[in-house]
Structure 1
């Protein structure tokens, strides 16, 4: 995926997660033949989010997103899910970095209970 717009988005998302949650652990999970690199997962005192790459988008799914305040309304997917919430980032879409990092910090706080 080198030179792919999705790689740039994943890198930006990763950088924001690391900036908002020092000490976060990134692991690749759910490896399979169609996705040998697996799905990047980010955890700190519990799962924060996953980052999945699709043909038309990058999806960032917050494990406990339904419990997070989203005053900037950046969640735009899985809005009816009972626990999760997601952000679909399409080509040319700019992620609100400050709002995203606030969500990451809130997710860590919920994990810490």
Structure 2
């Protein structure tokens, strides 16, 4: 299963994005049961995309992340290429659609 990088400060988030061309940020809160259910599914999905690095942010510990990425709810998933957002999914994720979108972007990028 995909390794998760725990990002505990906004500086760590920014460095993570700078150091990885393909980044997937997963923002959650500790009391969110949906957040806990989605993360294992996301890790499993990302196993198919070896160039994508996964970072996890606890929005309660890194409160500034909400303002930086315009986050209004948790969980939120952001797929970034060269620090630019290409895909955003929130609370009610349909993994079949997420996989299709991710596949299209990943294929175009890796050609």
TM-score range, shorter-chain basis? 0.3 to 0.5
**Scaled by the length of structure 1, what TM-score is found?**
0.43
User: Greater helix share, 1 or 2?
Assistant: 2
Q: What TM-score, normalized to structure 2?
A: 0.44
